[in-house]
A = this chain, B = another copy of it.
Amino acid sequence: MSTAVTLTDDSPGLADVPGFQLAGVHCDVRETGNPRRDLAVVFSEKPAVAAGVFTTNDVKAAPVKHCQASLAAREDFHAIVANSGNANACTGVQGWNDCEAMAAQAASLLKISPDQVFVCSTGRIGRGLPMGKISAGIADAVAQLAADDAHSLDAAWAILTSDTKPKTVTARFSVGGQTVTVSGMAKGAGMIEPNMATMLAFVATDAQVSKAALQAALAEAVRSSFNSITVDGDMSTNDTVLVLANGVSGVAVDDAASEAGAAFRDALGQVCRALAGKIVGDGERITKVVTLNITGAPTDAGAEKVARAIGNSLLVKTSWFGNDPNWGRLLDAAGYARIGLVEEKLDLFYDEIPVIEQGTPLHDKLPQWKQAVAKKTFTITMNLNLGSGAYHLLSADLSEGYVNFNKSE
């Protein structure tokens, strides 16, 4: 029997985890005078094990390279400093030096070592960070650090860019009378696609875990969450998921086959999937979230190709925006994934309503199709009937508002 994991969808975020302090402040990173919060600090009172997954873009922002270097160097971490409004990407040597300065300042104030601090940035590419403002923000945030809900939500707000709301979630499970908490916060909005996106996600837990086990558990959780979403097909230079585990629950979770280990992986997966769902649901100017459920492909990789071809097709996404049950565009996109689709074998459903059976459209069901695709969320199931490969992708529509929003920064 597996241990039940309880998910709290509207949690205050990382302060739910014993031993973590947070702050989110305004320091005007955007240099526009807009009073929004734009710098967050996450602080683990005890040294924490860490794991990370990063963008696979050839063009990696300085903070991504800096996080990767820190992660490789140590086993004991204490803090994350993250700013929104400027990605510190394509900023050359200066960008790296700015990361070092941010880590050094936070470390000095927190009385830890600079390589115990992860630095993350998100926002506009190609401009140097306003380091005077950033430095004031770090000082302010460290001074404000607290373990309460309000400060935790401040941090969740501070990492947002074009998101419209903070994204937090907490999972809990109990083993032998001990409760383990896994809580996360994320930002998304645009550049959301394979292998992460302009997305940051920070997860904290009080589970007791080795670095290697945590990294493996995170990689698995990311595969079916942050790597299974798409908004616009654009992968960012800054994507970062970090997990800090401080061990204060005393519950050891290294062994995936143990009761606690299985529950921990379940909880981490649920947190990542919930955050990923919130990212798609708050994609730039989207009006609906569509789940693509591809089955019966020759391989899982083939199913993924079909799902991504559909989920990134402009013609498909605009038809979703228009509530148009345009299954022809779905078939067209599936076909150009070129995995050997056989039209005559294909079954297609909007939610539970059959659209195509063995390649033949059931035109008399058009009124039901229209009802299904007019909903804010619906599922498209495509069974290729060629094998046992499957893939699941969360996607979104494309609106005129997206174009208007992104036509200039």
Give chain A's interface residues, CB within 8 Å of chain B.
56-60, 87, 89-90, 92, 124-126, 190-191, 232-237, 312-315, 318-319, 321-324, 326-329, 331-344, 359-361, 398-400, 402-404, 406-409
Q: Is the CB of B332 within 8 A of A234?
A: yes
Which residues of B are found within 8 Å of A359, using beta-carbon distances? 90, 92
Which of B312, B340, B399 has a CB less than 8 Å from the CB of A403? B399
Tell me which residues across on chain B come within 8 A of A235, comparing CB atoms. Answer: 332, 336
A126 and B92 contact, CB distance less than 8 A = no
23 contacts between A and B (CB under 8 A): A58-B338, A58-B339, A58-B342, A59-B331, A59-B332, A60-B335, A89-B328, A90-B328, A92-B359, A126-B327, A126-B331, A191-B315, A191-B332, A234-B314, A234-B333, A314-B398, A314-B406, A315-B406, A318-B406, A319-B406, A324-B407, A326-B409, A400-B404
Counting every copy of the chain, the complex holds 2
Known: A321-B403, A400-B403. 17 other contacts (CB 8 A): A56-B338, A57-B332, A58-B334, A58-B336, A58-B343, A90-B331, A124-B328, A125-B329, A191-B315, A232-B315, A234-B333, A235-B332, A318-B402, A318-B403, A319-B409, A324-B408, A399-B403
Known contacts A57-B332, A59-B335, A191-B332: A400-B398 contact under CB 8 Å: no
Nearest residue in B to A322 (C-beta to C-beta)?
A: B407
Q: Which of A323, A336, A409 has the most CB of B within 10 A?
A: A336
A241 to B361, CA, bound (A): 28
B residues within 8 A CB of A332?
57, 59, 89, 125, 191, 234-237
